[in-house]
Amino acid sequence: MASPVAHSFAGFWTFLYFASEAGLGVRMNWRRLAPPIVLLVFVANVADLDFLLSLYYRGDLNTLHHGFTHSILVAAGVSFAFAAIFPLPFASRFSRSSLIYLTAYGSHLLIDLVTANRLGWNPSGSGIPLFWPLQQEWRSPLALFIGVQHKNFGAILGIENALSSLLELLVCGGITAILLLARSKYEQNS
């Protein structure tokens, strides 16, 4: 798994993309749109709540981690549930809200697929059961994110995770700044 920093940015990028498609510009009413942003960022992170399930049911952080919550089936179920309970204000239909939530959840699966202990071409990713209940684990041979250390609470709060989270913050924050600037310039010129 990458850190919540990368997953949160992916949730925010999902919002930016679909809000822009719905005709909302960069100068949109951010305060009014704060709730859907929070929801999409949450859904982009929700798969990793399996840490809490593992802690509750197995007494450790890892036994149930990278299990069924990291699958397309659960992603679809959670997305439909969120679309039914919290329809997004910039989505005209239930199916559109579902698609947007599914994109946010799917971004989590995609990022975890390309996460490993080292960046680059290497097979050290931990793998996720994308087509659960089938148990086969899937991973990409190309790693774009460094995996979070999560052996125990000490490892989670360790310096390695702080550094990889900082790197994600710088890279993803930079990408976000460029996206917003480019979009703002485009809106000024159109």
Give residues in contact with Zn ion (CB under 5 A): 1, 47-48, 112
Residue number with CB closer to Zn ion (95 or 117) = 117
Least distance in angstroms from the C-beta of 15 to Zn ion: 19
HSE-CB for 43 with a 13 A CA cutoff: 33
Residue number with CB closer to Zn ion (82 or 90) = 82
Residue number with CB closer to Zn ion (36 or 125) = 125
Distance CA 108, CA 75 (A): 10
Residue of this chain nearest to Zn ion (CB atom): 1
Least distance in angstroms from the C-beta of 50 to Zn ion: 8
Least distance in angstroms from the C-beta of 147 to Zn ion: 10
Residue number with CB closer to Zn ion (39 or 47) = 47
Cβ–Cβ under 8 Å, residues 75 and 138: no
Instruction: Give the end-to-end CA distance of the chain in Å, rounded to a whole number.
Output: 40
Least distance in angstroms from the C-beta of 32 to Zn ion: 30
Residue number with CB closer to Zn ion (48 or 168) = 48
Residues 6+ apart with CB under 8 A from 135: 129
Residue number with CB closer to Zn ion (24 or 72) = 72
Neighbours of 166 (CB within 10 A): 12
Least distance in angstroms from the C-beta of 111 to Zn ion: 8
What residue type is 122 in one-letter code? N
Least distance in angstroms from the C-beta of 88 to Zn ion: 23
